[in-house]
Structure 1
Amino acid sequence: MTTGDTQPTTPLPPWTYSETPPKRRRRVWPWILALVIVLGLAVAAWFAGELIARDIVTKTIREQVITQLSLPADQDIDVVVEGTVLPQLIVGTLEDVTVSSDDVKLGALVGDVTVHAQDIAIRGEGTAGAASATVVLDPQQLRTLLSTIEDFPADSVDLAEPNVTMATELRLFGVELPVGVALTPTAVDGDIVLTPAALQVAGNEVTADALRDQFGGFADAVLRDWTICIAEYVPAGVELSDIKVTGDQVVADLAIDGAIVSDTSLQELGVCE
């Protein structure tokens, strides 16, 4: 019987230890961090450039408005450029611009003005697409404008939607009778025309025929249309298109020729014929 001590021993195969270090993973996060930083700087630069561009554009527009309309240097003018400015400058067109100011004085025409224009080319022979303006006058500003009309009783003017009202007098046999006239404003060939719509004599409503029968040719002084030319107060490229009384204000809409952006003749004041 063979015991464990006498059992043959089989030699172990030769064995050597070899340690292979694990592959090191490349650290990606520093590159991501660098990319984030670069993008952040690019965005910051974009916004900084956008703010600078917007500031330059709004200041330029304000200065041009003051120059073209001969407004005071300290006139408060609000300029709103819709959208992002930098791409619009690159393309060469401002898509949507609104310019507004209160108490704008254009000779005898004084009011709150808002101008809205779209697709304004800023290079070459520039033009604008749709462009319009609105002028809002309160009763006192309307009186100032109407005071330029000879024999018009501007001091008596007031507003009663949809009409402008005035008070005057007619003399009959040495007696002066108070006459009230309601006038409807309309835009005719760029002028404001006030047409009698209702009449009162001594507080009683009368017709135009009755007034003419009673006063004869003297009635023509109150039955006439009154025409107010505003062309001499606005650029030649701007024309009155509509006017109405809304509440306690007169609202005048004006059409603007898009070529006014580059055509200096349209930037000059118009002429009353």
Structure 2
Amino acid sequence: MVGEPTYPTEPVPRRRRRGVGVVIALVVVVVLAVGVVVADVSLRAYAQDRAASEIAASLPDTVDGDIDVTIDGFSFLQQYLSGTFDRVELDAPALTVSGVPVDAHVVATGVPTDLSKTVGTASATLTLSQDAVNSVVEVPGSATLTLDDQAVGYDGTISFLGLSIDYLVTASVSVTSDSVVLTPQKATLTAGSAVVDASDALDAVLDEKIPLCVASYLPQGVELADLTIEPGQATVVLRASDLSIDETSLSTLGVCP
């Protein structure tokens, strides 16, 4: 009849098909995204375990202990394809170095996927007990170090004008690139039953500064950067640039004069 409205025949089904297509596309995108994330996580875990094994195999025979490796950064795949990991952390809370127990934490940046190449920068924080410190450093006179709050105490025996004199010294600590430096602050001298406060005469009876070289414990290219003393323990910070982490390089230690 004239004047009766006309209606489109298939508008609703088209909208439904278009809507279904959008939903399917979103599902595919989500599935792919989840797959990429799962692959990224799985590959990161595998790479961390593989790196831990290779690093452990590269350590000198004098170093023993388990190492955990964490590869930081958002996308493992992107870093891997670039050939360099932005930041890698190593934890070894029960490491021993030449029999000395050490709690070690290492942060490295610019770590190549090919471990035969050098690492951009590396910083290691090592925590040693008082006994461990005494097994590493030797104070003249075979003294024993006692660790206190940002200071050390040590005692021993010196010969002065033909007399054997026992001493007890409190010293502040600092570091150079290859040595821990003790600077005596207070001193007590004992000869027989006589006890003398020799703090005002330190220059006459002891060296002004006592460097304790530790280069022979460190791979070449690794330097001391900081030292914190707390009661019963010491925390050392080491740094290096362009460091090789193959077995030969890590086994080649520095030399003390």
1:167 paired with 2:142, answer no
2:227 corresponds in structure 1 to 243
Deviates more, 1:33-42 or 1:201-210: 201-210
Matches within 5 A, 1:110-189: 110-123=101-114, 126-146=117-137, 151-154=141-144, 157-169=145-157, 178-189=166-177
Local SS of the residue matching 2:34:
helix
1:232 corresponds in structure 2 to 216
Between Structure 1 and Structure 2, how many residues are aligned? 245
Deviations 1:111-154 (A, max 9, x none): 211211222232597443332212121212112213x5674233
Deviations 1:37-74 (A, max 9, x none): 31232122112211122112211321233122247998
Deviates more, 1:68-77 or 1:189-198: 68-77
Deviations 1:181-218 (A, max 9, x none): 12333323412233323212356532363784xxxxxx
Residue identity matched to 2:128: L
State the distance in 2 between where 1:232 and 1:210 align: 29
2:27 corresponds in structure 1 to 37
State the distance in 2 between where 1:48 and 1:187 align: 46
1:22 paired with 2:9, answer yes
Counterparts in 2 of 1:111 and 1:197: CA distance versus 1, 3 Å: farther
TM-score, structure 2 normalization:
0.76
Higher strand share: 2
State the distance in 1 between where 2:112 and 2:212 align: 34
Does the 8 Å contact 2:59/2:251 carry over to 1? no
State the distance in 2 between where 1:229 and 1:210 align: 22
Counterparts in 2 of 1:255 and 1:173: CA distance versus 1, 3 Å: closer
Local SS of the residue matching 1:28:
helix
State the distance in 2 between where 1:195 and 1:98 align: 34
Deviates more, 1:104-113 or 1:52-61: 104-113
State the distance in 1 between where 2:153 and 2:163 align: 23
Q: Please, which runs of 5 or more residues in structure 2 have no aligned partner?
A: none
From 90, 98, 108, give the equivalent of 2:81.
90
Local SS of the residue matching 1:144:
helix
State the distance in 1 between where 2:119 and 2:102 align: 24
State the distance in 2 between where 1:63 and 1:246 align: 33
Residue identity matched to 1:200: T
Counterparts in 2 of 1:193 and 1:67: CA distance versus 1, 3 Å: farther
Counterparts in 2 of 1:111 and 1:224: CA distance versus 1, 3 Å: farther
Counterparts in 2 of 1:102 and 1:265: CA distance versus 1, 3 Å: same
Residue identity matched to 1:238: V
Percent identity between the two aligned chains: 19
1:11 corresponds in structure 2 to none
Report runs of 4+ in structure 1 exceeding 6 Å deviation. Answer: 71-74, 171-176
Deviates more, 1:25-34 or 1:250-259: 25-34
1:256 corresponds in structure 2 to 240
1:207 paired with 2:208, answer no
From 29, 47, 53, give the equivalent of 2:43.
53
Deviates more, 1:52-61 or 1:243-252: 243-252
State the distance in 2 between where 1:125 and 1:174 align: 58
Counterparts in 2 of 1:224 and 1:110: CA distance versus 1, 3 Å: farther
Which is bigger in relative contact order (C-alpha 8 A, separation at least 6)? 2
Deviates more, 1:39-48 or 1:239-248: 239-248
Counterparts in 2 of 1:87 and 1:142: CA distance versus 1, 3 Å: same
RMSD: 3.6
Does the 8 Å contact 2:151/2:170 carry over to 1? yes
